[in-house]
Structure formats: C-alpha cells, structure tokens
Structure 1
Amino acid sequence: MNMEILDLGEDKSLLLVDDDEAFLRRLAKAMEKRGFNVEMAGSVAAGKAIATGRPPAYAVVDLRLEDGNGLDVVEVLRERRPESRIVVLTGYGAIATAVAAVKIGATDYLAKPADALDVTNALLARTDGLPPPPENPMSADRVRWEHIQRVYELCDRNVSETARRLSMHRRTLQRILAKRSPR
C-alpha cells in the first residue's frame, strides 16, 4: 500500500471521545502504543472541556453520545485549534451525517467497528488523495442491520412505525430485531 502518512511531529496529543468505556480504553491503549499522548472523555461535556482547555493536535470523536452530539466537540475543537486533525466515528454510517461532520471540520469519517489501524490511517493520511479502502469493511448484512437499527431508534423504538418507513412487514422486522447483529 503506497499511502502517504504524515509524521506525528512534536505534538502527539490525542483526544478520544466515546461513551463506550470498554472501546474507549482499548482504543486509548492501542493509540498510546502508536506514540500518541491520549486523553479520554466519555461525554460531550468532558470532550468540550478538554477541547477548550487543552486543544489536542488530533481527535477521535464518536458521533452519538449519551449527553448529545459529538459534532459539538468537533466545533469547539475547530474554533480552538483549526489545524487539528479530527476523525468522527459512528455506529450509524449515513451519508448525511458524514457530510455534516466534514462540513463542520472533521478530517475523516469512519463507521464502527473501526480498529486502531483504521483510526491511525485516517488521522495521519494526507488529505490530497483518496484514502485507501478499509481493511475490514462491514458486510452487506451488517450495513442493512445498522440501517434498520438507526431507523428503529429514530422512530423511538416503535416497531410498527419503523416497519412502515422501511416498507417491510411488521413481523419480519420483529424477527430481524430479535436476532443478534451480523458480523
């Protein structure tokens, strides 16, 4: 793979914002092994506080957090340190949110599950070319399942309304929702 990678340089500060504590710890440990000085935040409020007080050179921000939208952290970080490189992560890969993230100032956008290699490549890749394809893309079944889960959540977990919006039979939707997520 002939991907051009930026050098970390002097400032290796990295802010990780995610409300999934286990994922946050795993990613932090992996990023520390790659030479980053990691600070973790489990909420929008904590992420904004760090971005205001000690704006990092790099950031990885989850889109949907329990106390709000991760794009709020991206906005604060962009105001405080415009040159920072920011990757937005989400379990709900939608084109509209990807466009919103990039317009606000995110460098890249990755769908979960993203591993440390994907995140590192997104943070350090030069922006003048297309990024390489992911090493482990989501399966078509997983993408379908993620879309159904997203619409289900947007419909306040109302099965009948979700089925109507997805143009599928309610019982079929109930069977899909009862199963575990595909890989």
Structure 2
Amino acid sequence: MVEAALPEIGPDASLLLVDDDEPFLRRLAKAMEKRGFVVETAGSVADGKTAALARPPAYAVVDLRLEDGNGLDVVEALREKRPDSRVVVLTGYGAIATAVAAVKIGATDYLSKPADAKDITDALLASDDAMPPPPENPMSADRVRWEHIQRVYELCDRNVSETARRLNMHRRTLQRILAKRSPK
C-alpha cells in the first residue's frame, strides 16, 4: 500500500496537545512529531491554558473533558492569543451540542475518540472548504461499544459497580464484558 503524501504543515509547526489520558497523550505526541510537528503536551485545563498563553501554537488538539474542567476553556484562551491557530477538539462523548459549542468558540474541527494520528493530522491541515473523507476502515459497532465501556470504566477509576450504574447495566454483565478481549 502506497501512503499518500502528507499535507504541508507550514513554517510554524508548533502543536499543543491537551489530554488527561497520559498513555494516549504520549502516543499521539510521538506520532505527531514523526509527522513534522513540534509538540508540547499538557495534561489539564490549567496546564493547557498556561501553555496556550505563554507560547501560542499554530495548531492544537484539545480533549473536551479533562479532570479539572472543560477543554473549551483552553480553546478560548488560545483564540484570544492567536486567532489564526487551527484547533481540533477531541472527545469520547460526541454530541451535536458540544460540537456546535466547540466550533462557535473557534475550533477548526471536532473528532470523536478514538481518533488516530492520521485523522487528527488531516483535520489540522485540511483547507477550510474541504470536506473530510469518510473513514477507510470504520470501527465495528461492537468495538465502538467496547471502547465506550472502557472509557467509562477508566473515568470511574476502574470501579465496576459505579461503571455499571452509569452505563445502566447489571454489574455481572459488565464484569463479563470486561473479562473478554476487545472486538475487532
């Protein structure tokens, strides 16, 4: 398979990544550095705002829900300092209302997790009038369900009872799902 040429990043390749999922943040930072970005990471709204105000990047990828608040606060801070920056908002809780709110305050695009580095790069570098292509290999419904359950499980600090309550399912059913491997 021949990989298509990457879109042009431009003279300023600074990229701020804001996410409280540390393993995801490390993987994404590494992948974006390989694509030519100069990456700075932050794990909270406070750290993200500090970085955005001190060194406003040309590009940013911000998680919507962070442990200490809303990622849209980082987007607003960045827009105040650098209105030309291209910002992609990521979330594991995709909803039309939050997508509209993100775009209203200046986000360039809005992607649901899990998004890979290619999807994020395409969103960051897309021209404003270009429509993104549909995903080449979309996840199965079983995989999407499993990813959502895992995310809620992690947000509940791996507490099975609390996760089952939030997902409105029986605790034993959840335990069986968690004991299985992830679907393809």
Structure 2 match to 1:60: 61
Identity of counterpart residues, as a percentage? 73
Structure 1 match to 2:30: 29
Give yes or no for contact 2:17–2:42 (8 Å, CA) kept in 1: yes
Structure 2 match to 1:118: 119
Counting only pairs closer than 5 Å after superposition, residues 14-93 of structure 1 correspond to structure 2 as 14-93=15-94
Give yes or no for contact 1:63–1:90 (8 Å, CA) kept in 2: yes
The CA deviation at 1:144 is 4.7
Give a deviation string over 1:47-82, Cα, whole Å, max 9, x none.
000111111000000111111111110111111111
Distance in 1, Cα, partners of 2:10 & 2:167: 48
Q: Which runs of 5+ in 1 are unaligned?
A: 164-169
Structure 1 match to 2:142: 141
Structure 1 match to 2:98: 97
- AA aligned to 1:14 is L
Give a deviation string over 1:23-70, Cα, whole Å, max 9, x none.
111111111111111101011000000111111000000111111111
The CA deviation at 1:150 is 8.6
Indicate the SS of the match to 1:35: coil
The CA deviation at 1:107 is 0.7
Q: 1:160 to 1:44 in 2, by over 3 A?
A: closer
Distance in 2, Cα, partners of 1:147 & 1:18: 17
- Root mean square deviation of aligned Cα: 3.0
- AA aligned to 1:133 is P
| Over 6 Å off, 4+ runs | 146-153
Distance in 2, Cα, partners of 1:30 & 1:21: 14
- AA aligned to 1:129 is A
Give yes or no for contact 1:5–1:126 (8 Å, CA) kept in 2: no
Indicate the SS of the match to 1:83: coil
The CA deviation at 1:104 is 1.4
- AA aligned to 1:123 is L
Give a deviation string over 1:138-158, Cα, whole Å, max 9, x none.
3223445667789998xxx48
Structure number with greater CO (CA < 8 Å, separation at least 6) is 1
Aligned length: 173
Indicate the SS of the match to 1:179: helix
Q: 1:67 to 1:109 in 2, by over 3 A?
A: same
Indicate the SS of the match to 2:77: helix
Q: Which runs of 5+ in 2 are unaligned?
A: 156-161
Q: 1:107 to 1:42 in 2, by over 3 A?
A: same
